[in-house]
Structure 1
Amino acid sequence: MAAIAREQNVLFHCDAAQAVGHIPVDVKKWDVDLLSLSAHKFYGPKGMGALYVRGGVAGSSLRPILHGGGQEDGLRAGTLNVPGIVGLGEACRLAASRLHVDSRRMASLRDHLQSQLLDRIEGATVNGDQEARLPHNLNISLPGANGRALAEALDGIAVSTGAACAAGQDKPSHVLLAMGLSPDRALGTLRFGLTRHTTAAEIDEVAAAVVRVATQLRGR
């Protein structure tokens, strides 16, 4: 993608919110011009984020949307949130120091959840590549059940529907449709996110609850 953008003289921005703290991120290897990240995705303070800007890009191509002071090289006016910035940096340091240990553990738990759902729910399918994937994320379609109804029925369990953060939408995810899913299958999708604090017992509890609720909803 970066090569295509270069050929067309277009800046390449990477939304790495789900990646930072979970897989190695290398802006030079990825050849990105811009990369954004969100602190709470790797246990940092909520409301904090960062934007990587490749040298030479800012002055010629970026324009501020908040005007006033000259903070952050004139790209974002306003007093800097120093405690939040320090918290983001420390969260990055901690995440990097335990990246491989946490990633292996979360991938193992994710695979356990995946196998339970695929084995116990007829027709369930995993969306996305089975190898090139994030260790802490599982996106799965359960035919015959509506994702929103599933999420609402899973009392006490936090799950998402669709492919990304898009609450309040009843239409199928455009990302899943672009991946080739039918509208019905896209609407029957749940997305699970694991953390370094997730336990095997919680995975078993979630799997049992999803199987129970999916069976009930599909039987209506």
Structure 2
Amino acid sequence: MKKGVSFLVTVALVALVSSLASASDPSPLQDTCVAIDEPKDAVFVNGKFCKDPKLTVAEDFFFSGLDKPGNTSNAVASNVTTVNVEKIKGLNTLGISMVRIDYEPYGQNPPHTHPRATEILTVLEGTLYVGFVTSNTENRLISKVLNKGDVFVFPIGLIHFQFNVGKTKAVAIAGLSSQNPGVITIANAVFGSDPPINPDVLTRAFQLDKKVVSYLQSRV
């Protein structure tokens, strides 16, 4: 192998390893980077500008209210209370956030993904049927019924769900490996996009009658 080609291969391998190593939020280069609103038209990193570390206070790292149940009066009978960088500015650059999830009996956190985070969930009350589906090479369902104190992990980017199979309310708390993990609820994204996806696309993709597709689009 010629020296020039060998060098390019080495560079490519280093770039690949580096990209894999930085698949989650980048590591911070300072003790704190409390997020502040960016100046108009400015360029920023990590989605936020940083407050002068000498001006940080305890409130920058504090949130109150996760003990309170969320409003589950909705179509899926569940509620996710998110504590991310928008709620705790001190999370900026720290690569972590959390949520509380409340479920009515037979309520669910419907199939969704977090494009930027792995999730680790702990059941505080109730019984949940949870699972995730592997990528398209297998589309294998990995699922389990969880009880109080049980822990389950949902790998980054994979479609996953939780369903309260008990007759009482359930509560879970979860940590996520991003300050802003994002969420894509599959049904909402596909049938509730703005503007709507052409029904012909969804009719063929889901093998549904066009009237069913139009109905679902009107419901989301």
Q: TM-score, normalised by structure 2?
A: 0.26
With CA pairs under 8 Å and 6+ residues apart, which has the higher RCO, 1 or 2?
2
Instruction: Compare the two structures and name the one with the higher helix fraction.
Output: 1
Instruction: Compare the two structures and name the one with the higher strand fraction.
Output: 2
